[in-house]
Amino acid sequence: MESSYAETLKGLLANTPDSVQVPPALQALSRSQATPNAPGNHRRFARRKITGDMFCKVSNPLPKFSRTENFFKVASLDISRCGVSFLANKELYPEEALLLWTLIGRIPCRVVRCVKHNDACFEVGAEVAIDSGSASINGVAP
């Protein structure tokens, strides 16, 4: 991975204002430590806390909903082998295709759930899209 990609992305993230209004209950959750799967959790793979900022682009919006912003900043919560969760300032809908720009590269994914916490905080769960052409993470700046 080229360090110029990560450095460029860090600069863009630092100069983009935060727009997610995280409620106090979620602020405490985002500071907690990562824990592996608990008994009875029914998850296939363990989740790891990965907090930080990244960019999101809705690459295939549902026809019913028009998107005016091309890229927007989101706050990551955690990641697993086949999924990621993050906080966004706008509602995303199941089946919308996304592209996340992280410090390690681009991650294509699809929204599976979205929970509203307030008007500017939605908790999004997305499944990582592992297609033959997008299985590798590569760095292309937004």
The average pLDDT across 91-101 equals 94
Angle at Cα 116 formed by Cα 85 and Cα 62, nearest 5°? 75
Q: Is residue 81 part of a domain?
A: yes
Q: How many domains does the chain have?
A: 1
Q: Is residue 140 part of a domain?
A: no
What is the value of pTM for the model shown? 0.79
Which residues make beta-bridge pairs with 61? Answer: none
pLDDT value at residue 91: 93
- Residue-wise pLDDT for 34-93, tens only, equals 455 555 555 666 677 778 899 999 988 888 877 777 789 999 988 888 899 999 999 999
| Domain residue limits at 26 | 3-30+49-128
Handedness of CA 140, 49, 82, 95 (dihedral sign): negative
In 3D space, the residue among 7, 23, 27 whose CA is nearest the CA of residue 15 turns out to be 7
Q: What CATH number is attached to the domain comprising 99?
A: 2.40.10
